[in-house]
Structure 1
Amino acid sequence: MSSVANVALMQSVVEIEQHVAADGWNQRPRMFALVPTAELLVTQPRMAAALGLTDEAGPSGGIPTFTSIEQDGLALDQPLDEMLGKMVWPAAVEGCALVIETQMLPPSAEAQIPRELEGAALERWVAKHPERQDVRMAVGVLRDGTRQAAIRLRSKDSDMEVLSGPDLVPNLATALLETFEE
């Protein structure tokens, strides 16, 4: 994993989270393909133009390293792991990012979780817990294993309060990386 890829992915994940945040809360999961911008300019000039990308900025800046392309038609009527298990990316896609909303408990509340609860029953229990936090997680990965995440708490709904880092949502990052395995 190069530091350039790490920085480029972090920039993309933060931009995607901010894009989704502009639409407010209570959204469905949203998936984005990450395509190298320079390659998109060469191989898909009409798409690049439609996205407002030009090569006028030059290599010194202005062109993001990755262009995110939202994927429509996700099978949202199935569990996330099943949906991800069916995903296949073309070779031109260098990475992907998924944005989902969920509820989390602080570590201090995890000891209160009844052991017999699973699935929907556990989700209902968490939803009623007074310490629960609504969160939006944007997790991005590249084929080479680079991973980044951005997390926004509903209680601190500000771009300045978004947490970011490579190890914030490791299980989801691993699941996204598996969409690139053949």
Structure 2
Amino acid sequence: MTDATQPAPHEEPHDERQDEQTGATAPDPATAHLATSVREIERHVAGGGWDGPVRVFALVSTAAALEAEPGLAAQLAPEVVDAARGDEHHLTSVEQEGLPQVESLEELLGILTWPDTVAGAAVVVERVVLPSAAEDAMPADPDEALAYLMGHPDRQDVRIAVGALRTGETWSVLRTRAHDDDAAVAGGPDLVPGLTEAIRATFL
């Protein structure tokens, strides 16, 4: 695991197990806390605006982290500390700095490994997406394809945040630049299957 920064802002998880924006249901406590963490991470990244780099976060059990490093309590809100000490599923996200310089997100995920103290991981990435019909018409030449993609009138800029726990639970959220509002962020356990599986594979 790369060197970590300070924990990202973390609010106390709500008791409801339903995604506030989409109605998608988190069926168990571990998934509910993961969903909360992924939403918070995306909201934290969204505060810096668009056109950002790939961001990677380790997810750690807050209770375990407090036991291992009591000084962490001073960096967290008192209500978060109280909630974590009474809930084994409570998570704290820690952004990873000094990521390796690689050609693609797939390559990065292929070389990431985590110590046993890390309960899960989350990745935030921006993508440009097109309707299926427009994708079918994309040129084969990479340079022409990029120009086609960036100039297409139906392109959508999206920010995707995907999290997975070592125990298998997953959650994703998606924000579009065209509807850049917290209330319009979609969420669910399998919105981005390929990226979800790639993150889960970092724990194998």
User: Shorter-chain TM-score: which interval?
Assistant: 0.7 to 0.9
Matched, 1:144 2:170: no
Matched, 1:43 2:48: no
Match of 1:55 in 2: 81
What is the DSSP-based 3-state SS (H/G/I as helix, E as strand, rest coil) of the residue aligned with 2:40?
Answer: helix
Deviations 1:73-130 (CA, angstroms, capped at 9, x unpaired): 112442111111111101010100000111011234233224x345x65343211211
- Match for residue 34 of structure 2 among 1, 5, 9: 9
Identity of aligned residues (%): 42
Residues in 2 aligned to 1:142 and 1:151: alpha-carbon distance in whole angstroms? 18
Matched, 1:162 2:185: yes
Residues in 2 aligned to 1:10 and 1:89: alpha-carbon distance in whole angstroms? 20
Count of residues in correspondence between the two structures? 178
What is the DSSP-based 3-state SS (H/G/I as helix, E as strand, rest coil) of the residue aligned with 1:55?
Answer: helix
Residues in 1 aligned to 2:154 and 2:128: alpha-carbon distance in whole angstroms? 10
Gaps of at least 5 residues in structure 2 are: 1-25
Q: TM-score, normalised by structure 1?
A: 0.87
Residues in 2 aligned to 1:36 and 1:103: alpha-carbon distance in whole angstroms? 33
Residues in 2 aligned to 1:56 and 1:178: alpha-carbon distance in whole angstroms? 32
8 Å CA contact 1:136–1:152 kept in 2: the answer is yes
Which amino acid in structure 2 is aligned with residue 18 of structure 1?
R
Residues in 1 aligned to 2:64 and 2:146: alpha-carbon distance in whole angstroms? 42
Residues in 1 aligned to 2:96 and 2:132: alpha-carbon distance in whole angstroms? 34
**CA root-mean-square deviation:** 2.3
Q: TM-score, normalised by structure 2?
A: 0.79
Gaps of at least 5 residues in structure 1 are: none
Further displaced range: 76-85 or 133-142: 76-85
